[in-house]
């Protein structure tokens, strides 16, 4: 098989989706796997923040698979979750993917019974090739692309609370879910470590199409933004819908004054969970704008969708920095030694659009 990074990232997200679905299909197993994040791992915005073994196992599986295929990337693959997990007995364990099914199963048996550990280990080591027709034609990447100068951010399950609860609530807009499994995404973004610019993004919706009881099919979006190589490609050529209104999508906790200013520009509002899910709605043209004024998203939330949006002529911008500079300022993934504390956090909020021309009026209104 041709070693095309984009195809292998897509394969990795489908394996991630399989692991997520396997864990989610057994309610008893899911309850055993969940633990609450505490301390520095917790997101301050949420009263409760959870991680599951599925999160950790997916992250470590993607790191293992891509690191094996692309050794130059191995040390620069990072994710949301710590690889540690605490058993019911209080023992802290490090989740690792072994060289064989047996090695991975032995690691998982410290948390799970042998049958569950073997089932998950089999999924981890399964050879997954995702070749759905909707993927479109994935171009060959430039032969002189410097993989040693790239980094990867992984969000193994974005929308963990939705993944755990599974309860769906719908908005007033067709196709836009407020909460539920529809809001869950797997996000893998590649960025240039020198410039800090996202260059490849893959976003998977593991629970997009329900085929039966606990049986789902994924929907995968990908984008490549390498203008220096004259290469921008994606599978996201959606037509702008015929509608007179503009729609913005927000967190339910968004500042009321900011919402009023955006309403004054003629936007209608949808409220939904999941940063990746909200960004996807911009990618698909279901909404025109995703705005978050708070610093409650992180690099793993935005790297993948930002790369896709850049391939479409859009981008994700820093909310506060763009207002202060009176011009669009894209989010950057450049690793600054003097910003160690905040380098993972999009501390100044974000604005995601496909149509960058929308920002002129928006920034003027928000700067008032």
Out of 14, 60, 65, 80, the active site residue is 80
Q: Is 158 a catalytic residue?
A: yes
> In a 3-state reduction of DSSP, which class is residue 143?
coil
**Options 10, 19, 95, 157, the catalytic residue:** 157
Distance CA(125)–CA(138), nearest Å, equals: 24
- Active-site annotation holds for 167: no
Q: Which helix (H) or strand (E) holds 120?
A: helix 114-124
- 360, exposed or middle or buried, with CB in 10 Å at 0-12, 13-18, 19+? exposed
Of 55, 182, 288, 348, which one is the catalytic site residue? 55
CA distance 80 to 189: 12
CA triple 328-138-230, angle to 5 deg: 50
Among residues 301, 302, 308, 323, the one annotated as catalytic is 301
b/e code 226-236 from CB counts within 10 Å (16+ = b):
beeeebebbbb
Check 158, 182, 192, 288 and give the catalytic one: 158
SS3 246: strand
Q: Which residues contact residue 157 at a Cβ distance below 8 angstroms, ignoring those fewer than 6 apart?
A: 20, 52, 54, 55, 58, 163, 184, 186
> What gap in Å lies between CA 158 and CA 55, rounded to an integer?
9
Q: Is 348 a catalytic residue?
A: no
The answer to whether 244 is a known catalytic residue is: no
Euclidean distance between CA atoms 322 and 351, whole angstroms: 9
Is residue 44 among the annotated active site residues? no
Choose the catalytic residue: 14, 81, 123, 155.
Answer: 155
Active site residue 301: yes
Is 49 a catalytic site residue? no
Work out whether the CA dihedral 3, 150, 139, 156 comes out positive or negative.
Answer: positive
* Catalytic sites, residue numbers: 55, 80, 155, 157-158, 160, 301
């Amino acid at each position: 098989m041709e070693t095309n990074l984009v195809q292998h990232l897509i394969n990795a997200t489908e394996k991630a989706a399989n692991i997520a679905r396997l864990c989610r299909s057994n309610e008893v197993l899911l309850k055993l796997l969940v633990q609450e994040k505490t301390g520095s791992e917790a997101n301050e915005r949420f009263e409760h923040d959870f991680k599951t073994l599925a999160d950790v196992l997916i992250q470590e599986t993607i790191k293992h698979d891509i690191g094996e295929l692309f050794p130059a990337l191995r040390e620069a693959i990072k994710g949301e979750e710590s690889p540690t997990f605490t058993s019911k007995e209080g023992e802290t364990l490090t989740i690792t993917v072994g060289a064989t099914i047996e090695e991975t199963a032995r690691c998982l048996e410290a948390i799970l019974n042998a049958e569950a550990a073997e089932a998950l280990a089999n999924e981890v080591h399964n050879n997954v090739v995702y070749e759905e027709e909707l993927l479109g034609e994935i171009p060959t990447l430039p032969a002189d692309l410097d993989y040693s100068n790239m980094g990867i951010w992984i969000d193994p399950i974005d929308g963990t609370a939705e993944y755990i609860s599974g309860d769906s609530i719908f908005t007033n807009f067709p196709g836009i879910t407020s909460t539920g499994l529809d809001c869950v995404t797997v996000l893998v973004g590649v960025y240039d470590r020198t410039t800090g610019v996202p260059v490849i993004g893959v976003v998977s919706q593991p629970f997009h199409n329900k085929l039966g009881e606990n049986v789902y099919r994924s929907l995968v979006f990908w984008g490549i933004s390498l203008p220096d190589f004259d290469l921008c490609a994606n599978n996201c050529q959606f037509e702008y819908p015929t509608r007179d209104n503009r729609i913005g999508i927000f967190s339910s906790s968004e500042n009321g004054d900011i919402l009023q200013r955006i309403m004054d520009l003629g936007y209608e509002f949808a409220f939904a969970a999941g940063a990746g899910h909200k960004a996807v709605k911009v990618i698909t043209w279901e909404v025109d704008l995703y705005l978050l004024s708070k610093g409650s998203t992180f690099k793993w939330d935005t790297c993948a969708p930002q790369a896709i949006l850049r391939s479409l002529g859009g981008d994700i911008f820093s909310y506060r920095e763009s207002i202060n500079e009176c011009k669009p300022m894209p989010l950057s993934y450049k690793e600054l030694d003097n910003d160690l504390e905040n380098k993972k956090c999009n501390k100044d909020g974000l604005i995601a659009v496909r149509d960058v021309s929308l920002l002129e009026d928006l920034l003027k209104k928000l700067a008032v």
